[in-house]
Amino acid sequence: MLREELGEELSAEDAIVLGLPRGGVPVAFEVARALRLPLDVFVVRKLGVPGQEELAMGAIASGGVVVTQPDVIGVYHIGQETIDAVAARERVEIERREAAYRNGRPPAMVHGRTVILVDDGLATGSTMKAAARALRPLARRVLIAVPVAAHGTCEELRAEADRVICLEAPERFHAVGEFYHNFDQITDAEVRTLLAQARDPSHGPRAA
């Protein structure tokens, strides 16, 4: 369990759990509840290859940090203009989601805090890499915690964070969904509901 892996070292720290929407938020909610830590979201969007949007050529994080996958860009001969155009479109979606999830509330303060970035799983790791790079200049420490990740991705991310926890990191990895019995898409409404529950002190997590 992620709670056992994270628990003791965070007991005396000013820490916050940030879920990557949408799929990472239910996992982050459970981590925050178990550790009795505040919960918020950190919005990151995959940059999909035009015509094959499920294939990541990179990612963009809230705040504008962009990371790319040079191997994918090279294989598909993707030019900088295309990358910039996709990033601009996803930047608009980031702004929409932040407005939808927070209902006018400002983002949680991360300066000087230990940030635990949580997702439901990692294939290429582009979105998590973008999130970590955006937050490392601000946070005291950045920890990455996921239930499952491709082995190579888990190892690569160790250069991006102070600690990386992948409960499962199989060599043979096809998709995150194969490790879940139920991998239905999470809606914006469900994200808002979980964030609202996290702000209820009787439910476990503290307000961010």
CA–CA separation, 137 vs 155, rounded Å?
21
Residue type, 171: E
Paired with 18 in beta bridges are 40, 117
The continuous run of DSSP H or E covering 3 comes out as helix 2-6
Paired with 19 in beta bridges are 41, 118
Whether CATH 3.90.550.10 fits 2-198 = no
* pLDDT tens-place string over residues 172-185: 888 897 888 888 88
What pTM was computed for the model?
0.90
Say if residues 66 and 86 touch (Cβ distance below 8 Å): no
Sequence ranges of the domains in the chain: 2-198
Q: Would you say residue 205 has pLDDT above 80?
A: no
* pLDDT tens-place string over residues 4-60: 778 656 655 789 999 999 999 999 999 999 888 999 999 999 999 999 998 999 999
CA–CA separation, 72 vs 82, rounded Å?
13
CA–CA separation, 10 vs 206, rounded Å?
15
Q: Would you say residue 201 has pLDDT above 80?
A: no
Q: Would you say residue 151 has pLDDT above 80?
A: yes
pLDDT at 9: 60
Place 1 in a pLDDT band, splitting at 50, 70 and 90.
Answer: confident
